[in-house]
Amino acid sequence: MNKVYDAIIVGLGAMGSAAAQHLASRGARVLGLEQYSPTHDLGSSHGESRIIRQAYFEHPAYVPLIMRSYELWREIERNTARELLLLSGGLMLSPPVHPIFRGSRQSAEQHGLPHEIWDVASVQNRFPAFRVPPHFAGLYEPQAGVLRVEDCILAMRQLALRSGADLRFGETVTSWHGGSDGPARVETNRASFRCRTLILAAGAWSPQFLRSLGAKMTVERLVMHWFQPEGALGRYEPQHFPVHIWGLDDGSYFYGMPTIPSGIAGLKLAFHEPRETCTPATIQRTVRAEEIQSISKIARAYLPDLALRHIAAKTCMYTTTPDEHFVLGPHPDMPSVILACGFSGHGFKFAPVVGEILADLAMEGQTAHPISLFDPNRFRPQA
């Protein structure tokens, strides 16, 4: 109980592992605590692949953080000799007035990002696999791609361990105390620890940790599906086949990814909307027949020539804030506690820059990265 760590991190998923890497590499004494095994699939960071893209329809303010993330992913690849980021190009497809097309275009133009605007004929010409409704438009960005999600996390932890981080698995944090006039404390099912800075990166378990803050986050269940196409699978690997995000007229969103070499032998397809509210304790892990039917219907409508056959499915959770922007910064009432949660289903690509920001905040008390959009205090009723 005597040792005071510089930082304790609760949760070693995407964000916690990134924080551990950055803090340890700067010489901090770091303890990371994870309730499950190193490669569990019960949170938000599993399922083979995640999209990374630059023309960010969610808000142009994310773009500088994305650009830094690309640099950091490449640095992690170099330092671990792993291939993590596979460029494939990315296609946003929706009616021109839809936020997907409008927002992507705004971010691309505002930040001078490489992109092309395509009409339906150009989309069909370049990627005949897609069947695009006549009133849609396409925005193509060549720098989009996929991240091998599990390998990314293993790589960040590998670097953290190399720099001396103490990472413990199968240890659950049962309570924490912010420490207004001394070190912060955490209790686990095994022991108690103290630290100067406590980083809460508990993913879908965060709402229960943050009740006091009035941060209204909703945990949502999503299903990832894999489909086998007819013909040679190699034609759908990232160098030939783009990530694609679709905004449909009925308000639903779906997306798809290329096949990942030496992964599940199929194309991934999933809805981003609609979603189903749950908690980590109540989430239904079994995928229902009607869910397979509705995504299969999408496959037949928008990728008909591939004759896609459903081969696998897995559940995952989003932790969503009311404005779908992240919660990243010091706890408003407890300056020794830093929050990294509410990534609202689009956080993974940012993990390395989030790690860098968390290390800045923990060690310097500030960061040069623009994070005002993510202020943890924004949901509080203002006096």
Ligand X SMILES: Cc1cc2nc3c(=O)[nH]c(=O)nc-3n(C[C@H](O)[C@H](O)[C@H](O)COP(=O)(O)OP(=O)(O)OC[C@H]3O[C@@H](n4cnc5c(N)ncnc54)[C@H](O)[C@@H]3O)c2cc1C
Q: How far apart are CA 108 and CA 156, in angstroms?
A: 29
Q: Which amino acid is at 70?
A: Y
Among all residues, whose Cβ is closest to ligand X? 13
Does position 242 interact with ligand X (CB under 6 A)? The reply is no
Residue 177: closest CA among 13, 336, 380: 336
Does position 10 interact with ligand X (CB under 6 A)? The reply is yes
Q: How far apart are CA 296 and CA 365, in angstroms?
A: 49
Q: How far apart are CA 138 and CA 121, in angstroms?
A: 10
Quickly count helices (H) and strands (E) in the chain: 8, 20
Specify the stretch interacting with ligand X by CB under 6 A; choose among 83-91, 133-141, 198-206, 295-303.
198-206
241 burial type by CB count under 10 A (0-12 exposed, 13-18 middle, 19+ buried): buried
Residue 364, both tokens: 């310097």
Does position 44 interact with ligand X (CB under 6 A)? The reply is yes
Q: What track of x and - describes contact with ligand X for positions 331 through 350 (by CB under 6 A)?
A: ----------x-x-xxxxx-
Residue of the chain from 7, 8, 9, 14 that contacts ligand X (CB under 6 A): 14
Specify the stretch interacting with ligand X by CB under 6 A; choose among 29-37, 78-86, 102-110, 289-297.
29-37
Does position 173 interact with ligand X (CB under 6 A)? The reply is yes
Does position 50 interact with ligand X (CB under 6 A)? The reply is yes
Specify the stretch interacting with ligand X by CB under 6 A; choose among 9-17, 134-142, 302-310, 330-338.
9-17
Which residues contact residue 233 at a Cβ distance below 8 angstroms, ignoring those fewer than 6 apart?
Answer: 259, 265, 266
Specify the stretch interacting with ligand X by CB under 6 A; choose among 40-48, 104-112, 134-142, 177-185.
40-48
Residue 246, both tokens: 């679709």
How far apart are CB 74 and ligand X at their closest, in Å?
16
How far apart are CB 309 and ligand X at their closest, in Å?
21
131 burial type by CB count under 10 A (0-12 exposed, 13-18 middle, 19+ buried): middle
Widest CA span in the chain: 68
Residue 249, both tokens: 């007229």
Respond yes or no on whether the N-terminal peptide bond of residue 274 is cis (omega within 30° of 0).
Answer: yes
Cβ contact 16:152 at 8 Å: no
Residue with Cβ nearer ligand X (122 or 168): 168
Assign 349 to helix, strand or coil: helix
Residue of the chain from 203, 229, 247, 376 that contacts ligand X (CB under 6 A): 203
Does position 34 interact with ligand X (CB under 6 A)? The reply is yes
Does position 316 interact with ligand X (CB under 6 A)? The reply is yes
Does position 13 interact with ligand X (CB under 6 A)? The reply is yes
Residue 300: closest CA among 156, 130, 146: 130
**Which residues sit opposite 220 in a β-bridge?**
277, 318
Does position 320 interact with ligand X (CB under 6 A)? The reply is no
Specify the stretch interacting with ligand X by CB under 6 A; choose among 12-20, 21-29, 123-131, 329-337.
12-20
Q: What track of x and - describes contact with ligand X for positions 81 through 120 (by CB under 6 A)?
A: ----------------------------------------
Total of residues contacting ligand X (CB under 6 A) = 36
- Contact residues toward ligand X (CB under 6 A) are 10-16, 33-36, 43-45, 50-51, 172-173, 201-205, 222, 224, 270, 316-318, 341, 343, 345-349
